Amino acid sequence: MTLSRRTFVKVGGAALAMPLLGSRAFAQLEKIKIGFIYVGSINDNGYNYAHNQGRLYVEEQLGDKVETVYVENVPEGPDCERVLRELAQQGCNLIFATSFGFGDSVVKVAPQFPDIAFEHATGYMSGPNIGLYNARFYEGRAVCGTIAGHMSKTGKAGYIGSFPIPEVVMGINSFVLAARKVNPEFTIKPVYISTWNDPAKEADAARAMIDQGIDIVAQHTDGPAALQVAAERGIVGGFGQGADMSAFAPDTQLTAIIDHWGPHYLASAEAVLAGTWAPGNTWEGLKEDVVQMGPYGAKVPEDVRAAADEVKNGQIDGSFHIFTGPIKDNTGTERVAAGVTMTDAELLSMDWYVEGVEQPA
Amino acid sequence: MELTLAILITVVGASTPILIAALGELVVERAGVLNLGVEGMMLIGAIAGFVVQFHTGNPYLALLCGAAAGTAASLIFGFLTLSLSANQTATGLALTIFGTGFSALAGSSYSARPVTLMQPLFPADLATHPVLRVIFGYSFPVYFSFVMVVAIWYFLHKTRAGLILRAVGENDQSAHSIGYSVIGVRYLAVMFGGAMAGLAGACFPLLLTPQWAERMTAGRGWIAVALVVFASWKPFRLLGGAYLFGLVMTMELYAKAGGGPLSAVPSELWAALPYLATVVVLVLISIRRDASTNAPACLGKPFLPAN
């Protein structure tokens, strides 16, 4: 169900009038109420859509034992604090803040509600009742990069990024490392457009890159605009991001990285029900099914599918990690020695590009 | 050469919706009304155009319905500010917020639904010709926007109706005292502005990116409002201004994506250029004493007949 923010204010006011009793933290529960806040619209066909699919998954799996509420289009800033407080006062036992920029607000609000479990996606600040969760999207990028390395004729791909944050940089690096294992001459030039959602700008960025010789496009923004331009121009292809975008470009989507948060949300909900929830720091990927790959496009030949499957399966059984050295950065300096795998902490603070990435302007 | 042509074509695509919306706002402001709801009307036009294109596949009907939806939205603004004399700034802002929310609601069941782009107006031989496509490769709204620049200039400066409209914007009491219906003229101007904004919004799913996405105009309505001031309420300057903004927005992306001479210019400079240009133009305008700013004297003031 959707609640307007006005209703939240009313309900929040009533809850404020009641004394906040005791701190019997994380007792066993018969039924839980879960709140979700999204930075964008659940109809974006990408990131926020995927989080909402996770919410629906929990509802489907737990049936009567769960009630969920969500608030979409919450700006990253003071407004988020207000929404978090309202959800807490409304009786939520578990609250998911699903965007990186909600972190500061979660850290401020969570201590005021010690018997509510908070979980923050893609963040880094935890607390006694703040858990962190993230997905290894870079594993999916490695699969996409493998396909790009095989299929690109020009050896150049375009990559539309939102902001140069570690999450995006990591994805670019993973894509290029995988592509260069196939074609050592492969390069990309990332274009940052300073927004998660501006379809016309995403489309123009794709046009700008295609006009200058790329024949594969990847994006780390929330919508399918770049993929549609790829289809319009008839280049080799592109990738879905966050969700299967084949509806927008059936022949052009080579595969898609699908965020599948459902299993994680279900596990957290069950832990809260059982009274066993503790703040965790999970970072799951293809193996745990939190990151899934979409179906291969019709254009992708058998041998490329096999190569992509190999990279995918290697990451599932743990035999392959894309960030295993030797890795040089794009100035030629060796950053990771042969045989060494980067730690999660190093990945989460990645601020340099690997060889093959032209330094963005 | 080939790249230059490709850039030009992208520039035209980026500039067209801004130009169309700004032309509508120019006429509205010339009649003395400040409608800050352009962004909201564009979004309403975008979802209306998208829905019609999705169900009928007729882009001309989609454009028409986008314009009609924009007009309907502008009538809400018109009723509040003209009939009820509400504050224009606040009402315009409210219209933008309403348009954002309404379009999101109306479009909520249309996610993951692509449409087809509008085809070029001219035959394929011309439209896909390697060089001539720069002139003949566009669909209807692009040519429409150029025609409207001339038509609006002609209307405002060469026709009696245009003179009346300007009189209403410059001195509503005088226009009223010699028998012109100030409110009537302003209603027509506001509706025209709404139609143009709606049509500009419909250009997003029909010309630029064939999908519906919430807030897909992403602030371009505000650029259109700013451009009217930038152009000191003159249609041909508006044409120049819209293409300057379109050029700079596009060049930023080509510079970031490219190698060669383009990438020598830092992208931050490209991003800052439109605003630098705005400052320079505003300074130039204000040091010319004779023309002052050319703003319609009654801009933004509600009309209350003296007697």
pLDDT band at A337 (very low <50, low <70, confident <90, very high): very high
Integer angstrom CA distances of residue B144 from A63, A208, B196, B238: 55, 25, 11, 15
What are the residues whose beta carbons fall under 8 Å from the beta carbon of B185, sequence distance 6 or more?
Answer: B31, B164, B165, B168, B175
- pLDDT band per the 50, 70, 90 thresholds, residue B307: low
How distant, in Å, are the alpha carbons of A23, A211, B86, B166, B169 from that of B306? 68, 61, 17, 20, 16
Proportion of chain B in helix, strand, coil states, percent, rounded to 5: 75, 0, 25
* A153 shares a domain with A301: yes
Q: Do B14 and A232 touch (CB under 8 A)?
A: no
Bridge partners of residue A191, in order along the sequence: A160
Both A95 and A55 in one domain: the answer is yes
Give CA–CA dist A133/A204, Å, rounded.
33
Over the stretch B90-102, which tens digit does the pLDDT of each residue have?
A: 999 999 999 999 9
ipTM above 0.85, yes or no: yes
Q: Note whether B204 contacts A: Cβ–Cβ < 8 A.
A: yes
**Is B239 domain-assigned?**
yes
> Are A260 and A290 spatial neighbours (Cβ–Cβ below 8 Å)?
yes
Q: Where are the beta strands (DSSP E) in A86-232?
A: 94-97, 117-121, 130-135, 156-161, 187-192, 216-220
Q: How many Cβ atoms sit within 10 Å of the Cβ of residue A319? A: 9
**B188 reaches A (C-beta below 8 A):** no
pLDDT at B281: 75
User: Which of A135, A165, A182 lies at the terminal end of a domain, its last residue?
Assistant: A135
Q: Cα–chain-centroid distance for residue A319?
A: 23
Model confidence at A22: pLDDT above 50: no
pLDDT of B63 strictly over 50: yes
Residue A24 has pLDDT above 50, yes or no: no
> Bigger pLDDT: B146 or A325?
B146
List pLDDT tens digits, range A29-78.
889 999 999 988 888 778 889 999 999 999 999 999 999 999 998 988 88
Tokens of B216: 């897909």
Mean pLDDT over residues A84-103, rounded? Answer: 93
A330: domain range? 137-258+291-348
Judgement on whether residues A53 and A131 belong to the same structural domain of the protein: yes
Residue B207: phi, psi to the nearest 5? -115, -40
Last residue of a domain, one of A135, A170, A204: A135
Sign of the Cα pseudo-torsion (A331, A332, A337, A338, in order): positive
Q: Indicate if the pLDDT at residue A14 is higher than 80.
A: no
Residue B264 falls within a domain, yes or no?
yes
The confidence score (pLDDT) of residue A9 equals 45
**Confidence class for position A5, pLDDT limits 50, 70, 90:** very low
Residue A33 falls inside a structural domain? yes
Report the mean per-residue pLDDT for chain B: 91
Percent of chain A whose pLDDT exceeds 70: 93
Instruction: Please state, rounded to an integer, the average pLDDT across all residues of chain A.
Output: 89
- DSSP letter for B84, please: S
With contact defined as beta carbons under 8 Å apart, do A87 and A35 qualify?
A: yes
Q: What CATH number does residue B21 fall under?
A: 1.10.3470
- Domain count of chain B? 1
**Does A361 contact B256 at a Cβ distance shorter than 8 Å?**
yes
Closest CA–CA distance from residue B137 to any residue of chain A (Å): 14
> Residue B175: inside a domain, yes or no?
yes
Domain-embedded: residue A95: yes
**Chain B residue with the nearest C-alpha to that of A73:** B214
CB contact (8 A) between residue A205 and residue B214:
no
Same domain membership, residue A297 and residue A150: yes
Residue B29 covered by a domain? yes
- Give the domain-ending residue among A112, A135, A158: A135
d(CA A91, CA A67): 10
Q: Is residue B299 a part of any domain in this protein?
A: no
Residues of B in contact with A195 (CB under 8 A): 218
- B114 with A203: Cβ contact below 8 A: no
Contact yes or no for B110/B51 (Cβ under 8 A): yes
Domain total of chain A: 2
* pLDDT number for residue B192: 98
Q: Domain for residue A154, yes or no?
A: yes
**Which chain B residue lies closest to A192 (C-alpha atoms)?**
B256
B304 within some domain: no
Percentages helix, strand, coil for chain A (3-state, rounded to 5) are 40, 20, 40
Which of B16, B212, B256 is best to mutate for the A interface (most A CBs within 10 A)? B256
Q: What average pLDDT does this structure show over A109-136? A: 93
Question: Closest approach of chain A CAs to the CA of B225, in angstroms?
Answer: 19
Residue A3 pLDDT? 46
Asked whether residue A216 falls in the same domain as residue A326, the answer is yes
Q: Please tell me if residue B113 touches chain A, with a CB cutoff of 8 Å.
A: yes
Nearest-CB residue to B258 (from A200, A212, A225): A212
Q: Which domain holds residue B46?
A: 2-287
Residues in chain B: 307
Cα dihedral sign, B164-B167-B168-B174: negative
Q: Which of A73, A192, A204 faces B10 most closely, judged by CB atoms?
A: A204
Q: How far is A114 from chain B (nearest CA, A)?
A: 35
Q: What is the pLDDT of residues A230-242, one digit of tens each?
A: 999 999 999 998 8
Identify whether B220 is part of a domain.
yes
Answer whether residue A215 is part of any domain. yes
Burial track B248-271 (b if 16+ CB lie within 10 A, e otherwise): bbbbbbbbbbbeeebbeeebeebe
Do the domain assignments include residue A358? Answer: no
Same domain, A9 and A111: yes
Q: Measured between beta carbons, which residues in chain B are less than 8 angstroms from residue A229? A: 209
Phi, psi of A283 (to 5 degrees): -140, 90
Q: What is the pLDDT of residue B112?
A: 75
Question: According to the model, what pLDDT value does residue B156 have?
Answer: 96
Query: A12 and A131 share a domain?
Result: yes
Q: Which of A140-149, A271-280, B272-281 has the lowest mean pLDDT?
A: B272-281
Are A124 and A141 within one domain? no
pLDDT at B3: 87
Average of pLDDT values for B188-206? Answer: 97
Binning pLDDT at 50, 70 and 90, where does residue B125 land?
Answer: confident
**Would A285 be classed as within a structural domain?**
no
Do A23 and A60 have their domain in common?
yes
Candidates B113, B209, B223: best to mutate against A (most CBs of A within 10 A) is B209
A172-176, A249-253, B276-280: lowest mean pLDDT where? B276-280
Please give the residue that has the higher pLDDT: either B257 or A307. A307
Q: Are residues A19 and A151 in the same domain?
A: no
CB pairs under 8 A between A and B: 114
Mutate to test the interface with B, among A49, A160, A194, A198 (most CBs of B within 10 A): A198
User: Could you read off the pLDDT of B212-263 as tens digits, one per residue?
Assistant: 988 999 889 999 999 998 888 999 999 999 999 899 889 888 888 886 666 6
CATH number where A312 lies: 3.40.50.2300
The pLDDT of residue A287: 93
Same-domain pairing of A101 and A145: no
Would you mind telling me the total number of residues written for chain A in this entry?
361
- Identify whether residues A142 and A67 lie together within a single domain: no
Residue A40 lies in a domain: yes
Inform me whether the pLDDT recorded for A26 exceeds 70: no
Strand, helix or coil for residue A325: coil
- A51 inside domain: yes
Are B214 and A189 inside 8 Å of each other by CB? no
